[in-house]
Amino acid sequence: MKLPLLLLAIGVIGSTALPNQRRATPCTYHKGGSAREPLLEDQYTVELNDGYTLEEHYEFVGFNLSAAASIFSYRNYSNTYGIKIDEHTMHNIIRYDPGVDRVTHNMVLSSQKTWYKQYPVTDTHKHDAPYKRWSSMGGTYHWSTGHINEWDRSIDYEKEFYHTRMLEPAGKGVDVYILDSGIITWHEIWRRHGNCRDLRNGKQYTDEMPYQNCFHGTAVGGVVSLNAPWATIVSAKVHGQGGNYDRMTEALNDILEDHEQYKRDHPDTYKGAVINMSFGSEDHPPLQKIMARCTYAGIPIVTSAGNDGNPYGSKPCGWENVICIGAIDKNFNKSSFSDYGKYVDMYAPGEHIYTAFSSGWDEYIYVDGTSVAAPMVSAVLAGFIGYEGINNNVTKAYLRLVQNWHQGVLTNAQPNTLLHSGHAHPNKDRSCPYNGPTGCTDEEADEEVDTHFTGNGPDAPSTFLPDLYAGPASPPNNAPNPPPSTPSSAPSASSTAACPAGCKCTLGLPPLCT
């Protein structure tokens, strides 16, 4: 057995200060773990009480943990740190610090392999939307886009593609963070409709290259861009080899830092952010804590309900201020695979959804799953946030969803609420692009654009896109926490990675690793 780090650092544990300061019993220890997501040996997330500093914590422990531990990462917004350290030091020293609120054992973040059938779409089958300030942009779009923009159910919905209108430029000034398996940021969909970059200059939250095994994330991000064409997609690769809950918590802390930094440095151009999490999770208190603080800071979080047909959504559905999304088909029926019920907030199209495919820079596919229903909601939220600049009030952003959703039009769906952009909402102020705001100053101008889709459109079988992890078959729970003070951190610009072994690199673009 290894000697505890405390003994290695100070030689003894008999400091006169320790007995007086030690709590009588250790703090709460959340173990967790499962066959799918096993515990990581000697790896923990430590939550400090708000206002309790690392320096005070180190004084209790007797040495600088960040210098002694093989893994150490501090997150200022949740006042937590991830660490790899021996059991004795953790359970007999750190947990007895009165300034420690809770210790959670870190565990693997599972990535369920997804499968895809490539369906190439030619140049005549791609959106081509020009820019014009908040005009009403009409054209032929995929049915999923039509269903969340049209209100009249008498329209012929049998076609795969039909004429509808969408707001322009939906999502401008909004960052939509895709916590997922990574995204090929050089896909043409980002060039045509907006921008795409990696979080923190491609900072690694797994042991894989940013563009390895990024099928799921690319499909999710593509749905956002097709429905909020001017949003900036920001990829945070948290699923993959070496991914774990502590590293995902770190990614969310980085997102929160960037959000606060952008609000201070770019108040005129930065409108806000949305976080999309199309996967399920286990209970993990530090994850719940940082997610709650993201919402307190004004970032809505959208998650997929799950594909098990359960009468509740998989976690993190049901956690504080998290929006849980189920899936419907083209005929307004709840998808047979979709979770439903108590923790599901609304439904969005989730069958035969047209989106980007990571096999090439100009490839597209059709997919099914609540994983592609959730980003439909993220896209609509990006439209609301971009128009009103809602960057510090998730309650207002969520209210806009409620004010614009379409109730009572679904079959076998609990609750019976369908996502809607509000563009054709019968109760909206005519001077405004959707229901909720009043007295808008932008002048609406109808414009027709050629999206190069025909009424029938390209058709192909769907590929099922399951959640990266469907989560345990048990209802969710809540864990609210108060927000801390706001520190400062400068975000980084995006870049590309060198071509690794076994990957394809062409046209001077980042590597394609499949």
User: In whole angstroms, what is the distance from residue 18 CA to residue 178 CA?
Assistant: 44
> Does the annotation count 152 as an active-site position?
no
Round the CA-based radius of gyration of the chain to a whole number and report it. Answer: 23
> Does the annotation count 66 as an active-site position?
no
Nearest one of 473, 159, 129 to 311, comparing CA atoms: 473
User: In whole angstroms, what is the distance from residue 184 CA to residue 218 CA?
Assistant: 6
> Does the annotation count 452 as an active-site position?
no
Q: Which of 135, 235, 358, 371 is catalytic?
A: 371
Write the burial class of residue 159 (CB in 10 Å: 0-12 exposed, 13-18 middle, 19+ buried).
middle
203 touches 494 (CB < 8 A): no
Dihedral of CA atoms 172, 386, 224, 166 in degrees, nearest 10, equals -90
Q: Which amino acid is at 372?
A: V
Q: Which of 187, 193, 216, 239 is catalytic?
A: 216
Contacts 24+ apart (CB under 8 A), 84-90: 84/42, 84/43, 84/44, 85/5, 85/42, 85/44, 86/2, 86/4, 86/5, 86/42, 87/42, 88/4, 88/6, 89/4, 89/5, 89/6, 89/61, 90/42, 90/44
SS3 string of 200-260?
HHHCCCCCCCCCECCHHHHHHHHHHHHHCCCCEEEEEECCCCCCEHHHHHHHHHHHHHHHH
Q: Which of 180, 246, 339, 467 is catalytic?
A: 180
For the annotated catalytic residues, the residue numbers are 180, 216, 371
